[in-house]
Amino acid sequence: MEISVWKEPDLEKRLVVLPDGVVSFPLMGSFKAENKTIDEIQDLITTKLEKVLVEPIVSVSLLSFESQQIYVIGKVNRPGAFTVNGAIDVMQALSLAGGMATFADQDSINILRRENGKLTAIQFDYSDIENGEKLEQNIILKKGDVVVVP
């Protein structure tokens, strides 16, 4: 992303969001950019800079969006790692993997997610989704999620 502050040439920077979602910017230090919109980041920087500058006018631009990898393993037709740009849900990931193979236990799918060093399993019941029920379980996957189809 590119961040600039009007009439402050020393505060024009091109930054990369680190894998942990953190960015560092002069006069304010590090902050979490992950899962924030451009407007939210701009507001955050403006608020922090108001402590040291008079009425800062901050501009934030997204220069590129790096893709993320998700994994689909088990009884699917094309298991593997998939590089995706933007949001993808469980059903879309299963589609990328060519759908479920014969004898897949479609009602016992798990999404493995590691957050803050802790691994959790999120249950997914394909039959419910197929019947238009419990649609909230068709969650948006996060970088590194593993969809396991037994």
Same domain? For 110 and 129 the reply is yes
Same domain? For 139 and 78 the reply is yes
Distance CA 148, CA 145 (A): 10
| Distances 2 to 25, 45, 74, 137 between C-alpha atoms, Å | 11, 12, 41, 36
Token couple for 135: 């649609």
**Strand 68-74 relative to strand 146-149: parallel, antiparallel, unpaired?**
parallel
Same domain? For 6 and 77 the reply is no
Q: Which domain holds residue 101?
A: 68-149
Question: What's the gap between Cα 20 and its chain centre?
Answer: 11
Strand 68-74's sheet: what is its strand order?
80-84, 68-74, 146-149, 109-115, 118-124
DSSP H helical ranges for the chain: 38-49, 90-96, 126-130
pTM of the entire predicted model: 0.60
Distance CA 121, CA 104 (A): 18
Closest CA to 101 of 90, 113, 109: 109
pLDDT in tens for each of the 150 residues of the chain? Answer: 899 999 999 999 998 887 678 899 988 889 988 778 899 999 999 999 999 999 999 999 988 766 688 999 999 999 999 988 778 999 999 999 999 999 999 999 999 999 888 999 999 999 999 889 999 999 999 989 999 999
Question: Residue 119 has what pLDDT?
Answer: 95
- Write the CATH number for 72: 3.10.560.10
Same domain? For 78 and 114 the reply is yes
